Each structure stands twice: as C-alpha cells, then as structure tokens.
Amino acid sequence: MKTRIEDLAIFGGQPVFREKFHVGRPNIGNRQRLLARIDDVLDSRWLTNDGPYLQEFERRVAKLLGVRHCIAVANGTVGLEIAIRAAGLTGEVIVPSFTFVATAHSLLWQNITPVFADVDEHTHTLDVAKLQQLITPRTTGILGVHLWGRPCQIDRLVEVARDHHLRLLFDAAHAFACSYNGRMIGGFGDAEVFSFHATKFVNTLEGGAIVTNDDKIAHDSRLFRNFGFTDYDSVESVGTNAKMNEIEAAIGITSLEGMPEVLAVNKRNYMAYSDEMMEIEGISLVKYNENEAGNYQYVVLEIDETQIGISRDQLLDVLHHEGVLARRYFFPGCHRMEPYRSLYPDVGRQLRSTEELCRRTLVLPTGTSVGVRDVKEICEIIRFVASHKDVISNRR
C-alpha cells in the first residue's frame, strides 16, 4: 500500500484500483439459469402482459414476504405513484427529505404536497415526534422510508396513522428480505413498495413491486398498472402502462434464487469493513440489528469532520481518484433539489438532522464484484487519508 502522500492519485500518483469499484454494481445471479429462462421467453413469444414468469415472480415474492398480494411493476417510482393513487392520497403527505428524490416526486407528480419531516439522527428514518407536529387537516397520509435495509419505527407510525385516520405507506426500496420484530417487511401499513432496480439486493434490471394485504389496494393497483383495463376491450378507470415484462420477471426469479449467495457476500464484506474501520477515529459504520433478517446491501459511513479533521467530501474526492466510486446518499436532501428548493426555501431550518446526515454520510462499494482484499485496500486508503489529514485538508 502507499506510504507517501504524493503517491495518491489526487496528487499525481497512480490509482490503487485500475478497475473502478462502484456503489450499486449489479449482482447477476446464475447466468445459465437466466439464459435458459430468457430462451424460454423468446421461444414462447409471450414477452409481456402477465406472462407465466411474471406470475411466478409475484407468487414467489408474496410467499417470501408473507403477504396476500404482490403487483410487479416497471420500476419502483411508478410503483409508489400507483400505490399512492390506490390508497386515495390527496392534499398533504408527510415524507422524509433524507431519501431518494423519487419518493417526493411520486407525490408531487400527482399534485400532492410532500411535507418534509426530519429524521432521527441515529436511525436515519422518520422522527415520529417531529412528524406529529406537521399533521394538519390537509394531511391524508404518511410515506415512511426504510433506509439501508433498517426499518422505520413502524409500530409508532402505525399508532400515529390510526390516531389521526391517516393512510400509511412505506417506500421499502432498500429493505427487500429484511425484517421488523421478526416479521418480513412488506406487510406493514396499507402497502409497501419495493424497487428491483439493477442496483438493488434483488433486481429485475428495472422493476418494482407493490405488496399489500389490502384487497382493494391490490385490485386498484393491478387496474392502474394496465391502462385501467378490466377485460380485453373494457377500460373502467384511468391508468398507465406500468407492467413488468417477462424477461425482467425471469431475471427477478433468478435473482431471488441467488439471494443466499449475495447475502453471504454482503455480510462478509460488511464484517470486513467493520473490522477494518474499528480503530479509525472520526468514522463510524452504520450498524445492523443482528436479531433481524437483513440484506447488508449498504455499507454506510458517518464522517465526523471535527474528529477526523477532513470533510466527507474531501475523503470522497480521494476515494474517487483512487478508483473507489463511493456515493453521497442522499445529498443534498430532497428539500434542496428543485422544485422543492423553490417551493420551500426555508424548510431546511426544520430539518437539522437531515442536513447533518447529508453532510456526513458516505456509502462504500460492496456486493459480488467486491472481495475482502478489495475491502482491505479501500480501508487502507481511508486510514492513510485520516493519518495525513493536514495535507488533504489544505489541498486546494
């Protein structure tokens, strides 16, 4: 490993990694099974419209999560939009700003006002006490986000929603195959929405799913997914085209089968990061509850600039130069992106924890493309930077 500061690529040296390591690099699964399924789809010429692979994928997901209904869709964003419409949300819906912008967009796209609530600085999910202060007569729902595979304070949110007669939905994009109090995420609230984007623990290239135990939400979601058709030539509702196709479903089935292997790699990498990071002052690794099921898909650091002596962005700059394409999730916060920045210019004053997390969180690469040796070298870069903070912090 490098022993001189001038060896860092940021100062003109050669990057440690010639092949770059990305956050969210896809896991592929068993290639032979996948290609056999794709051949089957092509031979059948049933490429979309509720084909056998789509139906099998929905059955498998519903069984795994212990829910009555799984409605697979083209992506997680349109899944949120459909679930929001099926739940009858209007007016204002409370949502965290510390999330991917699609969570907020799925509301505003339908002329629903997203009301940004702060998150708990420890859990990174909705702060229930602060959320309650934002409920008004216009509030019709709460849209919680399970972050990093760690669930919201579900029981408390259920209680608040019940007491105020609000709908409760969850963006569960990060939380597939994770649990809360021993029960799989997917069956909480009125509905939950997963993303099966290529970067996720289970992927269908693009894709998502609405899962629910509410028969009406399920019925309406299927209706909205397919233009409002109830029969071959009968349209009974406004709808859109949000169908998942057969090849995506075949990829999803293959990905479901590969979960144990991916989970083993993710957990191995997470434990390696944990061991390597243990003695680096000013850097803490977001921890998972060992008593719950988890996917370990995200290796999340919090950088304490005061302790370590450099900013999160300075560390990120070094890592990028060395070929480690870490990410700032969810910088700068939805409330600082358009159109929300213009709509709510002062809301940041109420989102202190959100703003702090946007400044200090950093997500590192993991998954089946990353080995333990890679983890050790990534951590060695971070350790080296931390021990040469004066040179790094003075760089212009």
> Topology of domain 5-25+258-326+365-393, per CATH?
Aspartate Aminotransferase, domain 1 (3.90.1150)
Res 390: pLDDT: 82
pLDDT, tens digit (0-9, with 9 covering 90-100), for 29-39: 999 999 999 99
For residues 224-230, give the mean pLDDT: 96
Is the confidence at residue 380, as pLDDT, over 80?
yes
Res 3: pLDDT: 56
Is the confidence at residue 92, as pLDDT, over 90?
yes
- Mean pLDDT over each residue of the chain, to the nearest integer: 95
CA distance 351 to 364: 25
- Report strand pairing: 113-117 vs 92-96: parallel
pLDDT, tens digit (0-9, with 9 covering 90-100), for 103-159: 999 999 999 999 999 999 999 999 999 999 999 999 999 999 999 999 999 999 999
For the whole model, what pTM was predicted? 0.96
Domains of the chain by residue range: 5-25+258-326+365-393, 31-118+125-257
CATH number, span 31-118+125-257: 3.40.640.10
Res 123: pLDDT: 96
Res 8: pLDDT: 83
Res 130: pLDDT: 97
For the chain, the first-to-last Cα distance in angstroms comes to 25
For residues 194-222, give the mean pLDDT: 98
pLDDT, tens digit (0-9, with 9 covering 90-100), for 257-273: 999 999 999 999 999 99
Is the confidence at residue 198, as pLDDT, over 90?
yes
Res 1: pLDDT: 55
Name the CA radius of gyration of the chain, rounded. 22
Is the confidence at residue 2, as pLDDT, over 80?
no
Higher pLDDT, 121 or 7: 121
Is 350:118 a contact under the CB 8 Å cutoff? yes
Q: Name 211's Cβ contacts closer than 8 Å, sequence gap at least 6.
A: 61, 62, 65, 67, 69, 70, 71, 186, 187, 191, 192, 193, 194
pLDDT, tens digit (0-9, with 9 covering 90-100), for 280-319: 999 999 999 999 999 999 999 999 999 999 999 999 999 9
Q: Name 88's Cβ contacts closer than 8 Å, sequence gap at least 6.
A: 140, 167
Res 100: pLDDT: 98
Is the confidence at residue 279, as pLDDT, over 90?
no
Helix (H, G, I), strand (E, B) or coil at 73: strand
